[in-house]
Chains A and B, each alone.
Chain A
Amino acid sequence: MATKAADFLIYDAAANVYRENPEQIVRDDVEKHAWKHVMLTILKDWRLYVMLVPMLLVFLFWRYLPMYELLGCFKVPDEVKPVAEQYFSGFSYFKSLLVGAEAVDFWRALRNTFLLSFYGLCFGFPMPIILALFFNEIRSNIVRSTCQVLTYLPKFMSTVVMTSLVTMLVKQGALTSGYGIVSQALEALGIISHEAAYNGLLNNPDFFRVIYQVSGVWEGAGYDSIVYFAAIIAISPTSYEAAQIDGAGKMSQMRYVVLPGILSTVVIMLITRIGALLNIGYEKVLLLYNTNTYVTADVVSTFAQRKGIVGGQKGLASAAEMMNNVISMLLVISANTIARKASDTSLY
């Protein structure tokens, strides 16, 4: 019997005839009345679709409509008309940002955005792994969980509290008051000069990146170590025993048992971090920087905030963010593709 005919006809052995396949009739019917079928399915299951509505509306109004406002970067600004009806202005904002009047500030912001995350990758990324390796060494449950609870703690504080603490700890001196306690300690250790400490570390562009990274490690390293610690304790104890029987010391166990065990986690986290290179939290920078430190501190989103929200140049600011976010999206997508190819697991 030809296989193709079987889709449409079924051999009825009892009557010795071929009959039409009822399933195929249904399938043809569905194709003919696809939309009717869709509507019927939705109606039959209406409760499920009603449940989706609030989520879709929230995302539509406050995630997708802003993307439509982003069109303002191609338009001549107009207070009255909505974005769609404004006159097309071509790429004038992009030109101004890349080669024109704003080029110096914009390239500086782009460079700072990249550098802040890149240094974060170099210094902030290994720290949670080191912490997790050390946590694994501590056999006493009480000591370990106390340490863990204390190191996660700063993550739960708001950016405002964190930046306020940082501001106060390295504040500048004045006639009636001394400078911050951390500045004093650093000066006593000979790491920074008296002038730098007295003028306030946050007013000095040379220190912004250091402060940003150190506070980042303080805030996030403990919390980020959770993932690695979970990967380490998932390694079977028999692997350690086997290594010990083969005569492996502590360092060899670390190298041949623990590191291979957490490698896939490390790779995924690394790729995610690389994908987020241009995606930097604006709140922390906004709360820590000031006019003295724009040279090293100004990132694209704070640049846009200053130009657009404070200064009213909405088109220019939108264009800046558009460029940053498009590159950022491409980075995330390629990082995710690599992660999927490399380890069968991916973020999305």
Chain B
Amino acid sequence: MKRKLEISERIFKVISYTFLCLFALACLYPFLYAVSASISGAHAVDYCEVVLFPKDIQFDAFARMFNDNMFWNSYSNTLFLTFYGTVWALFVAILGAYALSKKRLLFRRAFNFFLVFTMLFSAGLVPQYLNYLATKDVFNSVGITDDKWLVVIAMGMAAMNIILLRNAFEGVPSEIEEAAIVDGATEFQVLRKVYIPMCKSTIATVTLFFALSRWNGYFWARQMISNSNEHPLQVFIRLRLEEYTDPEQMAGWNEIFSSDSVIYALIVCSIVPILIIYPFIQKYFAKGVNAGGVKE
């Protein structure tokens, strides 16, 4: 038997469907527009004749970008930073979180406070900048002249992610660990064979947080990497945006595609990898956000 919907209920339903669909479309629209504008002709983009669907389709903006060595360079730099940055961050975070999850660790409260305090108080941009300059000198003096490694090692370690991992490790029943120790497993084996397999989904969540923050990182990469050949994609996009929206630079521009199309094409290229894996990973992010809400 189906209960007849009341009038107020029905109105509420209609409102929620309409509102949500509009909001979802509004979230999607800028991306659709970017795709359309990146493949539309110069006149159509410059005079905003493109609203949703592309007009005078051309792929020259993409072709120009693909012919640009700097673009591929920045893409490979981003891949480098994302890969090594995520591996390094995971290495540090998993080991640290495992040790912190052990009740028998001496000075456990002090170590936890050491971690949490960085979430409460940050030194700020300028002291951090000065500190990076100083560590850059140290890195140079031991022979690491590649700024990328400094960015990989120094950046993107979030205390929140370590706490997420620590809470997951604390949830593993101690009997399993004891059984492994009785069987003669060392600390590292217990971590590798028991804890990591049992907390797979949290580790996946944290990996994605780290990888996304690396892929999207901009400010420190721009501050710290002096060689423009080593700039990651985000910095490349921003520099192009600054260049192409500068009227003086654009005076001599005379092409079949608009300068805007190049920016849009860049944006499309930078978000395509995320869009491809997004459907598979978004459930982990939802998990992370719910697990991150409440502590201890």
Contacts and interface: CB of A to CB of B under 8 A. Distances in A.
Contact of B237 (A161, A329, A347): A161
A212 to B, nearest CB: 16
A179 B218 CA distance: 27
Interface string B259-278: 01001100100110010001
A54 B90 CA distance: 11
B95 A66 contact: no
B123 A67 contact: yes
Nearest to A200: B245
Contacts of B6: 249-250
A305 B45 CA distance: 35
Nearest to B290: A230
A177 interface: yes
A138 B290 contact: no
A157 B30 CA distance: 12
B8 A249 contact: yes
A42 B16 CA distance: 59
Given A164-B263, A226-B286, A131 B20 contact: yes
B51 A52 contact: no
Contacts of A6: none
A48 interface: yes
Interface in A246-284: 249-251, 265, 268, 282-283
B26 A178 contact: no
Residue with the highest number of chain A CB atoms closer than 10 Å, among B34, B99, B115: B99
Contacts of B182: none
A164 B238 contact: yes
A279 B191 CA distance: 36
A181 B57 CA distance: 18
B59 interface: no
Contacts of B159: 59
A63 interface: yes
A69 interface: yes
Interface string B22-37: 0111111011011001
A151 to B, nearest CB: 5
A154 B123 contact: no
A289 interface: no
B23 A325 contact: no
The majority secondary structure among interface residues of chain A is helix
Contacts of B290: 226-227, 230
Contact of B126 (A61, A133, A179, A317): A317
B223 interface: yes
Nearest to B251: A176
A165 B127 contact: no
Interface stretch (B61-69, B103-111, B170-178, B196-204): B103-111
A179 to B, nearest CB: 7
B48 A161 contact: no
B66 to A, nearest CB: 19
A134 interface: yes
Contact of A309 (B24, B37, B129, B296): B129
Interface string B118-129: 111111111111
A152 B119 contact: no
B27 A134 contact: no
A342 B162 CA distance: 26
B93 interface: yes
A158 B279 CA distance: 17
Given A51-B187, A160-B234, A168-B264, A69 B123 contact: yes
A47 B125 contact: no
B256 interface: no
Contact of B282 (A72, A152, A314): A152
A227 B289 contact: yes
Contacts of B131: 61-62, 65-66, 69
B183 interface: no
B20 A158 contact: no
B95 to A, nearest CB: 4
Contacts of B267: 161, 164-165
Contact of A62 (B23, B47, B102, B135): B135
Given A158-B218, A309-B129, A348-B295, A321 B124 contact: yes
Residue with the highest number of chain B CB atoms closer than 10 Å, among A168, A171, A180, A222: A168
9 contacts: A42-B106, A62-B155, A63-B123, A66-B124, A168-B264, A222-B23, A318-B124, A325-B123, A348-B116
Interface of A: 38, 41-42, 45, 47-49, 51-52, 54-56, 58-59, 61-67, 69-70, 72, 131, 133-135, 137-138, 143, 146-147, 149-161, 164-165, 167-169, 171, 174, 176-181, 184, 218, 221-223, 226-227, 230, 249-251, 265, 268, 282-283, 286-287, 301, 304-305, 307-309, 314, 317-318, 321-322, 324-326, 328-329, 332-333, 345-348
What are the 8 A-B residue pairs with the smallest beta carbon separation, nearest first? A55-B96, A321-B124, A158-B216, A308-B126, A66-B123, A47-B187, A177-B46, A134-B16
